[in-house]
């Protein structure tokens, strides 16, 4: 009986209704036929032989439920001001709740001509700065919009996925070459996010070239593991450096910096206090959003240990606790709560994040793994929705010692820019889930790397020797660049490394004596600098903190001129350079040199190695697909 009551409470919270009765005989949602959003305060009437049996109003998300109907056939009438009514039949069987999705069509306004509606539609599009594509597509959108004018105004166009695409990506200004004289230091935060790679894969799977700004080369390189050694000196990660000829410009060299996080055995990983924060707004109704999200979380739940705990918070028009913190042994209870979730309503992302962190803090495990896992398409539109507000909110919440993981889903209205900022601000990592196999990778093979942080605020600073290096260019990491003063500032946030994760960075190096010319500034009038004779090409410094500490530790390595690989590149450098070539070609980079898709394929095939899970082979197919699409 206690289990039944808990199940009822979960159902009540999940659908946003307050009800103390038994399991409903009928539950459902009333949606707008155009936008797909839930309709609040719609009237739902159940009739038997034209007699009213029960009448209810929908919640703020459009949900309703009818209690204790006897077996038999009924009719249901749904009404709401501004919409055409809906009448249909349904049946109730003993012990089995019926479910209905009812879509109401907005009333037409006959005195609003199509021309006027079209003009208002165009104006609305322009004001919202939505790129609506070709004139033909806009014409179709205009026709559709003008047919749905409600009470003298054109209905919101967001339900039309064909002509409109509101995906957002931050602009990437590629790193340029820096002359070592005057710019000897290169400082940046490491990045273990991998969302860009699977998002690019999604575009190519749909036979589309990805947006340039969707291609973050460092995330594509770091999607793959590399054969770096395990740490053996007490630090949580090892450091590898290698340099060889640059494949896309043989006059230059290519420097690889690789970090390998310690592989911690599962039985030594602390207990996890996880809070699933799930977007159940109307925009999440597509098959590749909430349904895929549920499958992904179920895969994670099935891999939890007895010491781990999970709570579930949802948000749409409002935020709510669907499942209190529950032991990992009660997998069926956690999965049952996931199964109840349905999409509908607007998106109060800020309220959801606040509640999720509150729940995480209430169940905080000292010296444990405390983490919020946010799953969404990123389309926050109510509450703290601006990127600045959301970032400040997350920065404040990370002080509680709770980390964050971001899972992105869907297309069309995907807000990559917002989710990347949240992950960067909250000691987090960021993934894009384009299919169930990616869920298996994130929550299966890489589960504890995804969930358990072994080093936080990891920064890299490279000092180049001007007698050996004329200029350098960091490949990728554009939104991770730090000021040189930030390296020693322990208050400055940086990226985190998970258990077993690898992190790779590439520099294109122009050797001293090269004839290449770069923009320069006039000589300084009041300062003079001199070179120090050294056989070292560079000094690599790294700073990191342990997850529960606030003071950083310093690691220093040097690379000598004699250590440049004069022969064939290693598999690590070959494959990383192949991915870099692919990213530069997709971005149409001015620095791609002689790079071609065929070159990327050849390097990847030569460095495929064992490829136990087939990820590198899939990459080769992606490159071949992109080449055909672009040609």
Question: Whole-model pTM?
Answer: 0.74
21 pLDDT more than 50:
no
d(CA 414, CA 166): 7
Residue 160 counted as domain residue:
no
> 309 pLDDT exceeds 80?
yes
276 and 247 part of one domain: no
Q: What percent of the chain has pLDDT over 90?
A: 51
- Is 173 among the domain residues? no
What pLDDT was estimated at residue 142? Answer: 38
What pLDDT, on a 0 to 100 scale, did the predictor assign at position 72?
A: 82
Lowest-pLDDT range of 5-14, 70-79, 362-371, 510-519: 5-14
* 260 and 336 housed in the same domain: no
Residue 6 has pLDDT above 60, yes or no: no
Residues 240 and 334 in one domain: no
Range of lowest pLDDT (418-432, 479-493, 540-554):
418-432
Intra-chain end-to-end CA distance of the chain, in Å = 65
Cα 496-615-169 angle, rounded to 5 deg? 55
* Residues 430 and 315 reside in one and the same domain: yes
Number of domains in the chain: 4
Instruction: Evaluate whether residue 522 is within a structural domain.
Output: no
442 and 464 inside one domain? no
Residue 293 counted as domain residue: yes
Q: Is residue 142 domain-resident?
A: yes
Q: Which of 430, 485, 427, 479 is nearest to 458 (CA)?
A: 427
How high is the pLDDT of residue 165? 65
578 in the same domain as 564: yes
Q: Per-residue pLDDT averaged across 9-18, rounded?
A: 44
Check whether residue 34 and residue 144 sit in a common domain: no
Q: What is the mean pLDDT of the chain?
A: 83
Mean pLDDT of 272-297: 91
Please say if the pLDDT value at position 313 is more than 90. yes
Domain assignment present for 523: no
Q: What is the mean pLDDT of residues 152-165?
A: 36
- pLDDT of 383 reads 57
d(CA 420, CA 167): 13
**Do 61 and 128 belong to one domain?**
no
The reply to whether 41 and 122 lie within a common domain is no
pLDDT at 543: 97
Please return the burial class of 42, using the count of CB atoms within 10 Å of its CB with bins 0-12, 13-18 and 19+. buried
- Residue 411 is predicted with a pLDDT of 86
Q: In degrees to the nearest 10, what's the CA dihedral of 355, 360, 361, 365?
A: 170
Of 398, 422, 451, at which residue does a domain stop?
451
DSSP assignment string, 428-493? EEEEE--SHHHHHIIIIITHHHHH-EEEEEEEEEEEE-TTTEEEEEEES-GGGB--GGGGG-TTS-
CATH number at residue 292: 3.40.50.410
Mean pLDDT of 602-626: 95
Whole domain around residue 125: which residue ranges?
114-154
Using the predicted structure, report yes or no on whether residue 108 has a pLDDT greater than 90.
no
Residue finishing a domain among 408, 436, 451:
451
Q: Is the pLDDT of residue 569 over 50?
A: yes
**What percent of the chain has pLDDT above 70?**
83
Q: What is the pLDDT of residue 520?
A: 80
The span from the CA of 484 to the CA of 188, in Å, is 9
536 with 403, same domain: the answer is: no
State residue 106's pLDDT score: 75
Question: Of 71, 104, 137, which residue is a domain's last?
Answer: 104
Beta bridge pairs of residue 66: 26
Mean pLDDT of the 506-516 span:
93
Query: What average pLDDT does the segment 535-559 reach?
Result: 94
In a domain, 147, yes or no: yes
Residue 12's domain is classified under what CATH number?
2.60.40.1120
Most confident region among 91-95, 182-186, 346-350 by mean pLDDT: 182-186
- Regarding whether 33 and 19 lie in a shared domain, the answer is yes
Least Cα distance to 464 among 456, 452, 472, 474 occurs for: 472
Residue 524 lies in a domain: no
Query: Same domain, yes or no, for 605 and 464?
Result: yes
């Amino acid at each position: 009986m206690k289990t039944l009551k808990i199940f009822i409470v979960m159902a009540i919270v999940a659908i946003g209704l307050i009800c103390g009765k038994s399991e409903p005989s009928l539950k459902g949602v009333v949606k707008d036929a155009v936008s797909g959003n839930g309709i609040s305060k719609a009237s739902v009437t159940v009739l038997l032989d034209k007699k009213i049996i029960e009448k209810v109003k929908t919640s703020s998300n459009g949900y309703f439920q009818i209690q204790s109907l006897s077996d038999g056939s009924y009719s249901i009438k749904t009404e709401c001001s501004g919409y055409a009514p809906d009448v249909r039949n349904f049946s109730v069987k003993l012990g089995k709740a019926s479910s209905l999705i009812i879509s109401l069509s907005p009333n037409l306004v006959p005195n609003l001509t199509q021309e006027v509606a079209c003009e208002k539609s165009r104006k609305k599009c322009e004001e919202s700065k939505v790129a609506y594509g070709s004139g033909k597509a806009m014409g179709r959108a205009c026709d559709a919009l003008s047919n749905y004018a409600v009470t003298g105004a054109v209905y919101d166009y967001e339900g039309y996925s064909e002509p409109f695409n509101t995906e957002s990506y931050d602009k990437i200004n590629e790193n340029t070459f820096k002359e070592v004289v005057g710019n000897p230091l290169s400082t940046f935060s490491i990045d273990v996010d991998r969302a860009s790679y699977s998002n690019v894969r999604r575009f190519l799977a749909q036979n589309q070239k990805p947006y340039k700004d969707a291609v973050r080369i460092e995330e594509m390189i770091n999607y793959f593991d590399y054969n770096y050694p395990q740490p053996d000196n007490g630090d949580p990660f090892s450091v590898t450096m290698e340099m060889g000829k640059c494949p896309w410009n043989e006059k230059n060299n290519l420097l690889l910096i690789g970090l390998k996080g310690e592989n911690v055995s599962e039985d030594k990983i602390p207990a996890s206090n996880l809070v699933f924060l799930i977007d159940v707004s109307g925009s999440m109704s597509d098959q590749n959003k909430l349904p895929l999200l549920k499958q992904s979380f179920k895969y994670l739940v099935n891999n939890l240990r007895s010491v781990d705990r999970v709570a579930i918070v949802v948000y749409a028009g409002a935020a709510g606790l669907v499942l209190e913190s529950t032991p990992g042994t009660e997998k069926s209870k956690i999965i049952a709560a996931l199964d109840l979730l349905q999409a509908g309503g607007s998106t109060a992302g800020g309220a959801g994040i606040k509640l999720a962190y509150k729940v995480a803090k209430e169940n905080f495990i000292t010296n444990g793994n405390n983490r919020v896992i946010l799953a969404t398409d990123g389309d926050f539109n109510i509450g703290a929705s601006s990127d600045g507000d959301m970032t400040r909110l997350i920065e404040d919440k990370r002080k509680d010692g709770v980390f964050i993981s971001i899972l992105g889903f869907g297309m069309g209205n995907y807000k990559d820019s917002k989710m990347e900022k949240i992950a960067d601000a909250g000691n987090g990592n960021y993934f894009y889930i384009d299919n169930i196999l990616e869920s298996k990778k994130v929550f299966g093979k890489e589960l504890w790397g995804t969930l358990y942080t072994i080093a936080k605020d990891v920064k890299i600073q490279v000092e180049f020797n001007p007698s050996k290096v004329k200029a350098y260019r960091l490949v990728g990491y554009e939104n991770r660049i730090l000021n040189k003063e930030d390296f020693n500032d322990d208050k400055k946030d940086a990226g985190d490394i998970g258990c077993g994760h690898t992190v790779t960075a590439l520099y294109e190096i122009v050797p001293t004596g090269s004839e290449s010319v770069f923009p320069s500034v006039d000589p300084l009038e009041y300062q003079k600098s001199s070179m120090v004779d050294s056989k070292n090409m560079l000094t690599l410094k790294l700073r990191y903190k342990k997850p529960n500490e606030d003071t950083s530790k310093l690691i220093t390595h040097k690379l000598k001129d004699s250590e440049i690989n004069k022969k064939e590149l290693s598999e690590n450098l070959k494959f990383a350079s192949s991915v870099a070539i692919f990213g530069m070609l997709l971005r149409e980079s001015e620095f791609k040199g002689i790079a071609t898709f065929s070159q990327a394929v050849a390097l990847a095939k030569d460095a495929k190695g064992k490829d136990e899970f087939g990820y590198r082979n899939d990459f080769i197919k992606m490159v071949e697909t992109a080449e055909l699409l672009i040609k």
